[in-house]
Amino acid sequence: MIIAAVAATVLTSCVKTENPTSNGHGTPVGFGVYVPQTKAGAAGQTTTTSIQRSEANGGGFGVFAYYTNDAAYAGTTKPNFMYNQGVFYNDPNWEYSPVKYWPNEYGTGANSAAQDKLSFFAYAPYVSAGSGSYGITAMSPNSANGDPTITYVIDPTPSTAVDLCWAVNSADGFPWIDLTKQAYNGKVTFLFKHALARFNVNVRGYFDAIRTVDGAISSDDIDSNTKITIEKIEIAGTFAPSGVLNLNNTTANEPLWTPAAAAATTLTIPNADIAASLKATVNGETSFPAITGVTKTNVNVFTGNAPAKTDATYYTFIPTDDDITLNVKITYYVTTRDPKLADQYICVKNVINKDITFAGGFTGGLNYNLNIVLGMTTVKLEATVADWADPSNVDIDLPVNL
């Protein structure tokens, strides 16, 4: 790997250079990166630090660059300057190879009739080529004219899903278009944004009351002799299972998607991915659980901790403006300890499902919290004693007196 700021590799692609800079040196194209709290790269939460991982560990980002001579970028040419160029961090620099140099029609003390232009587009995580069944499965070929695109397929299992980011410049929320030569130590700094919509899945119980307000927390908690444990959660609906992301977004800070046709799809949180503090024994508890289980407090299904923006696992969706209805189904067990029973406990399996509609679909870059609230009612026993009824009179003549 070659350090962009100091490398001396000669640019071999054909780029017109009418006038040199005043110092006579070529200026390499350098990159800088800022990643807000987001999920990209290897499955899990990605920050500016974690995107600095090696390629093998899901780090880095890919760049498409277009040289348009003196003309403005119009989205009609092929990526003739960089194509899916992997850029990786080697403290303190971002590196790539082969190094490319800014066209030289610009410089202090030098004159030119026009200025050559470069336009840059980027995405994360970097992949050498689209592959696999999920995530980034394809990208526009290097011979294709037009904006660079990324094809993304939704992973039905949240723990292995990889979020997709695309890059803008922080000043206006659009890609870096029609740049002219920068200073020797200048950098093209990418701000990576969420391209997908996502939601976390949280769970809590609501005990012995009617919940009349969304977000309300139960005043009662679960009895100490009962545990609620979760086997799995399934979310089914008709939505885009994949989509094509154009890296040249036309609305500031909004991803430009072409979703695939909506199809019936089921996303599953399997038992293996349920947090240890909530996880049920498959096919029913075989003893009274020693874990906390579901309580009146919202916890993340994947971590068992209080919901947070930094939760590393969640569902991802292709953004769309169409209403989406999801059917949420949860399989859980209610286990109660009772020493009077032969088994010392009773375990009851519950399978509950309900539809929820997202009006206007999912917005790219937004996080939705799906809070599953289990309404639990204790079995109540009461008794009354009825008064004796008035007697009925029945005469029996034994025998009849004569």
In tens, the pLDDT along 200-258 reads 888 999 888 888 888 888 899 999 999 999 999 999 999 899 999 999 999 999 999 99
The DSSP code for 387 is P
What pLDDT shows up at residue 91? 87
Q: Is the CB of residue 194 less than 8 Å from the CB of residue 365?
A: yes
pLDDT for the residue 2: 35
Predicted pLDDT at 10: 27
DSSP 284: S
Q: Judge contact between 310 and 253, C-beta under 8 A.
A: no
Give the Cα separation of 67 and 145 in Å (integer): 13
The first and second tokens of residue 135, run together, are 């995530």
Backbone angles phi, psi at 165, to 5 degrees: -120, 150
pLDDT for 384 equals 54
**HSE on the CB side for 114, CA within 13 Å?**
9
pLDDT of residue 119: 97
Encoded tokens for 226: 């009962």
Count of CA atoms in the C-beta half-sphere (13 A) of 86: 20
Q: Are strands 299-300 and 188-194 parallel, antiparallel or unpaired?
A: unpaired
pLDDT of residue 1: 37
Which residue type, as a one-letter code, is found at position 14?
C
Cα angle for residues 363, 246, 80 (degrees, 5° grid): 160
**C-alpha distances out from residue 171 to 177, 256, 276, 378, Å:** 12, 18, 44, 57
Query: Are 116 and 69 spatial neighbours (Cβ–Cβ below 8 Å)?
Result: yes
Rg of the chain (C-alpha set): 31
Quote the CA–CA distance of 284 and 295 in Å, as a whole number.
19
Compute CA distances 77 → 29, 209, 229, 334, whole Å.
Answer: 20, 64, 57, 62
- Residue 101 region, left (φ>0) first, then alpha (ψ -120 to 50), else beta? beta
Q: How many CB atoms lie within 10 A of CB 230?
A: 22
CA distance 19 to 181: 12
pLDDT at 199: 82
pLDDT at 182: 83
| Confidence (pLDDT) at 84 | 97
DSSP type of residue 391: P
Residues of the chain with pLDDT under 50: 1-24, 39-44, 107
Instruction: Look at residue 120 in the predicted model and tell me its pLDDT.
Output: 98
Identify the DSSP state of 392.
P
Q: Which amino acid is at 272?
A: A
Q: Cα-flanking dihedrals φ and ψ of residue 160, to 5°? A: -110, 0
Angle at 30 between CA 27 and CA 33, to 5 degrees: 160
